[in-house]
């Protein structure tokens, strides 16, 4: 153990080495840019895929078709907002679709079978969403169970509750008050047909983007997902942040339930079985890291659109459905690989 | 008596900023702390050394609210305090830089400095919509870094993960020292750093002391300890084996006391 | 062709799909593979004629999948006039897509199952016709057959000309076509399953 640090030469060498390491190759510069703007890579993928599918089939770029794609992603896009919030905290929610369906069944049955006024029925749906979020959040924070396991359990619980409550029966939209199916109504904006559900989804994106980007709560969500211990030591009440994230996600899911009722003009216990995983797909393709703390809500919207565009574009190009699933699978792997590569950024 | 003429021997006559008396902490049948006392005076660097399991970490955790001692007393500027969580200690101006840094890699420098104490915009935007004053926090972060003499962090908008180890440590230290804190506790600040970066951090420690901020430094690195410490608290088997100074003892003596081969 | 799954291949999926095509008199190529039939050609069922299959999409057998699948196929070819659906929820979803495209009057949606909700949809014009099955009868006959085997060891004989025991299917529609045996929704409601 020497007390003296030799001055001069070693530091000089270190300086040189550092300079050498700082010199960026074009590839690492791209990586740094992608790292700084997590929504950039999905934006590029979306742009390229739209162009390619447009070249493959001239019907793809028609306004009607593009409008349909937005309507098709409205429900999964909304669920993906909830999923993004949870994944940003390094969690995962396998139960989003099940919560959404349970909420939609409660809303529809209360309104149709129990004669509850539509606004109150929707409020009850919101309470179902919040309750489900509270249960997930409680189990994650109090019992310190991994979110994957918690939501795997609650997924089954919510599916069972839905079927028990609804007897497996579909409530048809024609029997519902107009307010419940309002989210399925459309209007023309110039040549583009837009559904109210899509507008609702976009409003949610704007609200959540604002909250995540501009408030202390948003910053704490990122900090908790980034490094839970660091966040705790910085004085952030980690469990409170986590709980609020699951509650917020539950509220978003209730809105998703409303959009779903409008979209299918029905509340059916059989819908949305794939939405649990599809929402994760959208988030991952949107560039949000499953390890938490990194990602953007706009990336998720792009991710949902990419999946919609791929499914639609591949169908129009005449590809068999099994190959569409294959393509989405490849897309996920690519997205995660790119995420891993981007995360290696260090100076 | 002025700060520049300050000698460790004079400490008896001054009031300690942080004082611990007979702290006891047990974990089941394992005794972590067995009646440890410690004084921290204004403008000094107090190093805490000791072998693994000697109670160093437990002592620091009790001082910073991460653990609650079973018995014993803590006073800050003469006032008795009871810390139940790190926030309590922070509320009394005791800031800690943990070994694992406790910075959020994906957030930028300014966000990290203000993490957990963000400031909102004035007016309805801040009150009603809770909008953060990002620009204001960045400006204040810069001012604070300049005040602390931390020159390695020029751009406060860079994500912390893009910084070198020394710069990250500087962010963590800056956060602890900024915003009117009274005591800064550094847990192994140089453990993961190279030679040059370690020197930067040690210089930072001296700078803090020269600005009147007392520092508790936990370290395994004897040269670093003897380089910056004014006094050295040696933990052994859950007790304070001795409190020495770099002038009164050599590094070899300190190691001997630490391992029980000698007594002070 | 609005099929069931895009992530698994199950017999109910291809048997229904290929059964529908066989009924129309279209050669299905591999009987266990959806979508491998010739996309255009002549069908021999009924009066015969030219056909074009616009595509096959998965619906997961639910409303949302049915709607998305129908929308996609309409984008591909807006002149679709007959839609096969794997089951009645998918048919209801397809109807929503047709309605929002203003085509619900021009397109015949056919389906399979004959659940009460489905029969109601036939009645209200959402579905043109559905093939009703009788799960209660299936179960009854099935249990009886098992009891028979247990008691006497006698296996039930296959129905004439088939390699299985036919428990019966009836086509449910209120717009009966000449030469096709069918029952009305009023009759079907008496025998339907589920609520």
Nearest to B115 among A14, A229, A236 (CB): A236
Chain A residues with CB-CB distance to B181 below 8 A: none
Are the beta carbons of B132 and A219 separated by less than 8 Å? Answer: yes
What pLDDT sits at residue A59? 86
Buried b (16+ CB within 10 A) or exposed e, B216-232: bbbbebbbbbbbbbbbb
What pLDDT sits at residue B5? 41
Are the beta carbons of A223 and B196 separated by less than 8 Å? Answer: no
| Strand segments (E) across B51-127 | 71-76, 79-81, 94-97
Name the residue in chain A with its Cα closest to that of C9: A322
- Tell me the C-alpha distance between A304 and A196, whole Å: 18
Kindly report the nearest CA distance between residue C89 and chain A, in angstroms.
8
Question: Is B154 touching A (CB cutoff 8 A)?
Answer: no
Counts for chain C of helices (H) and strands (E), in that order: 6, 8
Residue pair B101/B190 in contact by the 8 Å Cβ criterion: no
Q: Mean of the per-residue pLDDT values for chain B?
A: 84
What pLDDT sits at residue A23? 55
Which residue, chain included where needed, has tokens 């915009």? B121
Q: Which two tokens stand for residue C108?
A: 């015949």
What pLDDT sits at residue A117? 94
Residue pair A51/A57 in contact by the 8 Å Cβ criterion: no
- Tell me the C-alpha distance between C105 and C99, whole Å: 8
Name the residue in chain A with its Cα closest to that of B129: A215
Name the residue in chain B with its Cα closest to that of A2: B223
Between C153 and A195, where is the model more confident? A195
pLDDT digits (tens, 9 = 90+) for B137-160: 998 888 888 877 777 777 888 888
Residue pair A204/A252 in contact by the 8 Å Cβ criterion: yes
- Tell me the C-alpha distance between B44 and B231, whole Å: 8
**Helix H or strand E segment including B50:** strand B45-50
What pLDDT sits at residue A24? 64
Q: What is the mean pLDDT of residues A192-213?
A: 94
Highest-confidence segment of A98-102, B198-202, C88-92: A98-102
Euclidean distance between the first and final Cα of chain C, in Å? 26
Q: What is the CATH number of the domain that holds C70?
A: 3.40.50
Domain B14-259 has CATH 3.30.420.10: no
Query: CA triplet B114, B117, B120: central angle to 5 degrees?
Result: 90
**Helix H or strand E segment including B231:** strand B231-236
Kindly report the nearest CA distance between residue B160 and chain A, in angstroms.
10
What pLDDT sits at residue B4? 42
- Tell me the C-alpha distance between B210 and B43, whole Å: 7
Q: Assign A306 a pLDDT band (cuts: 50, 70, 90).
A: very high
Q: Which two tokens stand for residue A302?
A: 């792009």
Chain C residues with CB-CB distance to A318 below 8 A: 55, 76
- Residue C46: count other Cβ atoms within 10 Å of its Cβ: 13
Parent domain of C53:
2-191
- Tell me the C-alpha distance between C7 and C87, whole Å: 17
Task: Tell me what ipTM this predicted complex has.
Answer: 0.72
* Domains of chain A listed by start with CATH number: 48-343 (1.10.3470)
Chain A residues with CB-CB distance to B105 below 8 A: 226-227, 293
Q: What is the mean pLDDT of residues B188-198?
A: 82
Q: Assign B100 a pLDDT band (cuts: 50, 70, 90).
A: low
Kindly report the nearest CA distance between residue A173 and chain C, in angstroms.
10
Are the beta carbons of A71 and C194 separated by less than 8 Å? Answer: no
pTM: 0.80
What long-range pairs does B257-260 form, CB within 8 A, spacing at least 24?
A: B258/B49, B258/B50, B258/B51, B258/B54, B258/B234, B259/B51, B260/B236
pLDDT digits (tens, 9 = 90+) for A233-271: 787 889 999 999 999 999 999 999 999 999 988 898 888
Mean pLDDT by 10 residues, chain C (195 residues): 79 83 81 81 78 86 88 87 88 88 86 83 83 79 81 76 74 76 80 69
Chain A: list its partners (3+ Cβ pairs within 8 Å).
B, C
Where do the domains of chain B lie? Answer: 14-259
Facing residues of C110 across strands?
C84, C129
Kindly report the nearest CA distance between residue C153 and chain A, in angstroms.
38
A–C contact: 3+ Cβ pairs < 8 A:
yes
What strands, in cross-sheet order, belong to the sheet with B183-187?
A: B94-97, B183-187, B215-218, B45-50, B231-236, B239-244
- Tell me the C-alpha distance between B60 and B53, whole Å: 13
pLDDT digits (tens, 9 = 90+) for A15-50: 444 444 455 678 878 887 887 787 888 898 899 999
Which residue, chain included where needed, has tokens 């025991």? C165
Chain A residues with CB-CB distance to C87 below 8 A: none
The per-residue DSSP string of B119-181 comes to -BPSSHHHHTS--B-HHHHHHHHHHHHHHTT--S---TTSBGGGS-HHHHHHHHHHHHHTTT-
Are the beta carbons of A264 and C93 separated by less than 8 Å? Answer: yes
Q: What is the mean pLDDT of residues B227-233?
A: 93
Chain A residues with CB-CB distance to C72 below 8 A: 68, 311-312, 315-316
Q: Tell me, what DSSP letter sits at residue B205?
A: H
Are the beta carbons of A219 and B164 separated by less than 8 Å? Answer: no
Q: Which two tokens stand for residue C186?
A: 């009023």
Nearest to C62 among A186, A271, A321 (CB): A271
- Tell me the C-alpha distance between A143 and A129, whole Å: 21
Are the beta carbons of A273 and C60 separated by less than 8 Å? Answer: yes
Q: What is the mean pLDDT of residues A104-116?
A: 93
Nearest to A321 among C6, C76, C96 (CB): C6
Number of domains in chain C: 1
- Tell me the C-alpha distance between C94 and A3, whole Å: 80
- Residue C68: count other Cβ atoms within 10 Å of its Cβ: 30
What pLDDT sits at residue A50? 92
Are the beta carbons of C64 and A272 separated by less than 8 Å? Answer: yes
Name the residue in chain A with its Cα closest to that of B85: A235
Question: Is B251 touching A (CB cutoff 8 A)?
Answer: yes
């Amino acid at each position: 153990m020497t007390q003296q640090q030799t001055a001069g030469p070693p530091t000089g060498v270190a300086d040189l080495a550092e300079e050498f390491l700082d010199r960026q190759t074009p590839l690492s510069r791209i990586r740094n840019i992608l790292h700084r703007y997590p929504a950039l890579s999905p934006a590029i993928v979306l742009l390229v895929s739209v162009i390619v599918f447009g070249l493959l089939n001239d019907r793809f770029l028609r306004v009607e078709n593009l409008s349909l794609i937005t309507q098709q992603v409205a429900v999964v896009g909304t669920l993906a907002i909830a999923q993004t919030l949870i994944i940003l905290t390094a969690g995962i929610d396998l139960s989003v679709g099940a919560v959404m369906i349970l909420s939609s069944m409660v809303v529809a049955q209360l309104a149709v079978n129990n004669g509850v006024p539509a606004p109150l029925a929707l409020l009850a749906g919101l309470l179902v969403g919040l309750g489900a979020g509270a249960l997930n959040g409680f189990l994650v924070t109090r019992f310190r169970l991994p979110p994957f396991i918690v939501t795997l359990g609650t997924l089954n619980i919510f599916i069972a509750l839905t079927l028990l409550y609804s007897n497996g029966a579909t409530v048809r939209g024609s029997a519902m008050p107009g307010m419940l199916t309002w989210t399925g109504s459309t209007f023309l904006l110039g040549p583009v047909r837009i559904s109210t559900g899509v507008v609702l989804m976009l409003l949610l994106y704007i609200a959540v983007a604002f909250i995540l980007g501009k408030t202390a709560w948003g910053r704490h969500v990122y900090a908790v997902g980034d490094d839970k211990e660091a966040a705790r030591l910085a004085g952030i009440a980690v469990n409170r942040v986590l709980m609020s994230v699951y509650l917020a996600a539950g509220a978003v899911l209730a809105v998703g339930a409303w959009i779903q009722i409008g979209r299918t003009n029905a509340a059916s216990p059989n819908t949305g079985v794939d939405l649990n995983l599809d929402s994760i797909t959208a988030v991952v393709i949107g560039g949000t890291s499953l390890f938490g703390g990194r990602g953007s809500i706009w990336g998720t919207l792009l991710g949902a659109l990419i999946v919609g565009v791929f499914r639609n574009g591949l169908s129009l190009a005449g590809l068999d459905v099994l190959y569409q699933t294959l393509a989405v699978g490849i897309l996920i792997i690519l997205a995660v690989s790119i995420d891993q590569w981007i995360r290696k950024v260090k100076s | 008596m002025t700060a520049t003429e300050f000698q460790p021997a004079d400490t008896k006559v001054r009031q300690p900023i942080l004082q611990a008396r007979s702290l006891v902490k047990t974990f089941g049948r394992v005794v972590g702390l067995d009646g440890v006392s410690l004084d921290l005076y204004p403008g000094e660097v107090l190093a805490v050394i000791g072998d693994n399991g000697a109670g160093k970490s437990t002592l620091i955790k009790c001082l910073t609210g991460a653990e609650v001692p079973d018995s014993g007393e803590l006073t800050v500027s003469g006032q008795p305090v009871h810390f139940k969580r790190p926030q309590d200690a922070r509320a009394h101006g005791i800031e800690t830089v943990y070994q694992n840094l406790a910075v959020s890699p994906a957030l930028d420098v300014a966000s990290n400095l203000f993490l957990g104490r963000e400031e909102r915009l004035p007016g309805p935007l801040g009150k009603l919509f809770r909008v953060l004053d990002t620009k204001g926090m960045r400006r204040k972060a810069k001012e604070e870094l300049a005040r602390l003499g931390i020159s390695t962090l020029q751009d406060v908008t860079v994500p912390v993960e893009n910084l070198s180890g020394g710069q990250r440590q500087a962010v963590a230290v800056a956060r602890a020292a900024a915003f009117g804190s009274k005591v800064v506790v550094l847990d192994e600040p140089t453990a993961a750093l190279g030679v040059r970066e370690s020197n930067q951090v040690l210089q930072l420690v001296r700078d803090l002391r020269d600005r009147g901020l007392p520092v508790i430094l936990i370290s395994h690195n004897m040269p670093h300890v003897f380089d910056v410490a004014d006094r050295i608290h040696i933990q052994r088997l859950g007790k304070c084996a001795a409190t020495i100074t770099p002038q009164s003892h050599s590094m070899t003596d300190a190691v001997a006391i630490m391992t029980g081969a000698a007594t002070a | 062709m609005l099929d069931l799954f895009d992530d698994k291949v199950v017999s109910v999926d291809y048997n229904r799909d290929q059964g529908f095509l066989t009924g129309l008199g279209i050669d299905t190529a591999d009987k266990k593979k959806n979508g491998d039939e010739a996309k255009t050609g002549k069908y021999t069922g009924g009066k015969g004629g030219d056909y074009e299959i616009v595509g096959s999409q998965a619906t997961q057998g639910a409303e949302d999948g049915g709607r998305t699948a129908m929308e996609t196929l309409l984008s591909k070819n807006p002149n679709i006039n007959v839609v096969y659906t794997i089951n009645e929820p998918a048919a209801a979803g397809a109807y929503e897509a047709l309605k929002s495209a203003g085509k619900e009057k021009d397109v015949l949606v056919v389906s399979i199952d004959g659940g009460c909700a489905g029969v109601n949809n036939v009645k209200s014009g959402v579905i043109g016709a559905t093939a009703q099955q009788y799960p209660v009868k299936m179960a009854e006959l099935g249990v009886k057959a098992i009891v028979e085997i247990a008691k006497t060891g006698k296996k039930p004989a296959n129905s004439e000309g088939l390699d299985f025991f036919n428990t019966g299917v009836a086509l449910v529609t209120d717009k009966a076509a000449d030469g096709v045996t069918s029952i009305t929704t009023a009759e079907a409601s008496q025998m339907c399953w589920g609520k």
